[in-house]
């Protein structure tokens, strides 16, 4: 049987118009531009308007990806949205995206929730569908409205997060595309980074606020160590060397975490696609927003090898190694 690979045929991205700077945040909480930039690498983040949602932002990114791929909407035979901030508890953001795009073929559409690692989990699922022949044209989006689950009085978290959406269109190909995906979870660390479900909390009569709670320093250390290991695991799975990697497209959580992973790979920071400074941490949207930037500005070229990686609540972590 001819091998089937998942090829990246199109990318897209969307950022809301409102920009909130470190300066703006220093009027809300006891912080400063220098503290935030030095500790995180972030200067600005985009904030969704009241009428914007995970599916509305994903729609804009998805239309760009479909246009770049030159694929008709009714050819899409699977839609996966990675999000921790869906429009509704249900239907899924993927169903709402399907409706927004007017795809009435009945193709499956579902969300994947793996916090900041959501996109690598979604890419992994999409890749399995394509490899087995269960799907041929898969739309994957990562879309988040983090600003609605952030406590704007908590300086340890509100400085980190932003809103936005990224999308990628994968098509079946006889030429190598996604070389491997590696995904992992360990629920033992669930209390280091979490956001309560307000409905469940009400039922359990818990008083905890339904915002992001994070023990940042502990998460930081776990992220650096775990991402170092996933890099080795990913290259080993494909029999490749560090020198084979052209670009690192990381989840954009903290410049110090990203720099540690680049160092582990022996890559210079010029080989890292960074969006962090002006977008902050957009959770599951960040990888695809960075990929969109790297492809559209011409840095990522056909034939090059791109390593994507992410770490998030759960803990969850993973990677996707892709030949463009
Ligand atoms: O994307 C999902 C995964 N998430 C991550 O990967 C995030 C990982 N964690 C981080 O990026 C970092 O831990 C943070 C950026 C969140 C925090 O940086 P840190 O170097 O770990 O700082 P810290 O939490 O150890 O806090 C150091 C000090 C504390 O004060 P004391 O106790 O030393 O007096 C904090 O209260 O900085 C204080 N602090 C702040 N000061 C000014 C915490 N937040 C702020 C702030 N402005 N915004």
Is residue 159 lining ligand 1, measured as CB closer than 6 Å?
Answer: yes
* Nearest residue to 294 (alpha-carbon basis) of 13, 104, 62: 13
CA distance 122 to 137: 14
**283 CA: nearest ligand 1 atom:** 1
Tally Cβ neighbours within 10 Å of residue 205.
Answer: 6
- Burial of 56 per CB tally in 10 Å (0-12, 13-18, 19+): buried
Taking CA atoms only, the protein residue closest to ligand 1 atom 35 is 156
- What is the model's pLDDT at position 207? 65
Taking CA atoms only, the protein residue closest to ligand 1 atom 28 is 156
- What is the model's pLDDT at position 206? 64
CATH class of 179-323: alpha beta
Close Cβ partners of 137 (under 8 Å, ≥ 6 residues apart)? 71, 75, 76, 77, 78, 169, 170, 171, 172
- What is the model's pLDDT at position 22? 98
Rg, C-alpha atoms of the chain:
19
CA distance 144 to 287: 12
Q: What is the pLDDT along the chain (324 residues), one digit of tens a residue?
A: 677 999 999 999 999 999 999 999 999 999 999 999 999 999 999 999 999 999 999 999 999 999 999 999 999 999 999 999 999 999 999 999 999 999 999 999 999 999 999 999 999 999 999 999 999 999 999 999 999 999 999 999 999 999 999 999 999 999 999 999 999 999 999 999 999 998 886 666 666 788 999 999 999 999 999 999 999 999 999 999 999 999 999 999 999 999 999 999 999 999 999 999 999 999 999 999 999 999 999 999 999 999 999 999 999 999 999 999
CA distance 261 to 254: 11
The residue whose two tokens read 């809103």 is 163
Catalytic positions, please?
116, 251, 281
Which of 24, 217, 228 is the pocket-test mutation for ligand 1 (most atoms within 8 Å of CB)? 217
- What is the model's pLDDT at position 93? 98
Domain extents in the chain = 5-175, 179-323
CA distance 45 to 222: 24
Query: Would you say the CATH fold of 179-323 matches that of 5-175?
Result: yes
Q: What is the pTM of this model?
A: 0.97
What is the DSSP track for 17-73? Answer: SEEEEHHHHHTTSS--HHHHHHHH---EEEE--TT--HHHHHHHHHHHHHHHHT--G
CATH number of 5-175: 3.40.47.10
* Nearest residue to 4 (alpha-carbon basis) of 160, 171, 121: 171
Is residue 84 lining ligand 1, measured as CB closer than 6 Å?
Answer: no
Q: Token digits for 126?
A: 């999409």
> Please, which residues bridge with residue 110 across strands?
80
- What is the model's pLDDT at position 204? 65
User: How many CA atoms does the CB half-sphere of 310 hold within 13 Å?
Assistant: 34
């Amino acid at each position: 049987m001819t091998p089937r690979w998942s090829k990246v045929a199109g990318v897209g991205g969307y950022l809301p118009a409102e920009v909130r700077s470190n300066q703006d945040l220093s009027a809300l909480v006891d912080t400063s531009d220098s503290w935030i930039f030095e500790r995180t690498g972030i200067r600005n983040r985009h904030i969704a308007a009241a009428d914007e949602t995970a599916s509305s932002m994903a729609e804009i990114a998805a239309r760009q990806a479909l246009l770049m791929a030159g694929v008709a909407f009714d050819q899409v035979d699977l839609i996966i949205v990675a999000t921790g901030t869906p429009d509704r508890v249900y239907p899924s953001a993927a169903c709402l995206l399907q409706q927004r795009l007017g795809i009435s073929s009945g193709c499956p559409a579902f969300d994947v929730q793996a916090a900041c690692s959501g996109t690598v989990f979604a890419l992994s699922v999409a890749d399995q569908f394509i490899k087995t022949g269960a799907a041929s044209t898969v739309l994957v989006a990562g879309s988040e409205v983090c600003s609605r689950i952030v406590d704007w009085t908590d300086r340890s978290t509100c400085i980190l997060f932003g809103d936005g959406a990224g999308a990628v269109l994968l098509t079946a190909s006889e030429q190598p595309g996604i070389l491997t995906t590696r995904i992992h979870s360990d629920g033992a660390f669930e209390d280091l980074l979490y956001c309560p479900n307000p409905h469940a909390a009400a039922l359990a009569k818990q008083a905890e606020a339904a915002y992001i709670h994070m023990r940042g320093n502990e998460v930081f250390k776990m992220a650096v160590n775990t991402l170092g290991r996933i890099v080795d695991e990913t290259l080993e799975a494909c029999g490749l060397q560090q020198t084979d990697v052209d670009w690192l497209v990381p989840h954009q959580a903290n410049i110090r975490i990203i720099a540690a992973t680049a160092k582990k790979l022996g890559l210079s920071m010029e080989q890292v696609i960074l969006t962090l400074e002006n977008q902050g941490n957009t959770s599951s949207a960040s990888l695809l927003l960075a990929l969109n930037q790297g492809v559209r500005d011409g840095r990522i070229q056909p034939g090059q090898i791109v390593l994507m990686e992410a770490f998030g609540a759960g803990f969850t972590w993973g990677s996707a190694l892709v030949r463009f």
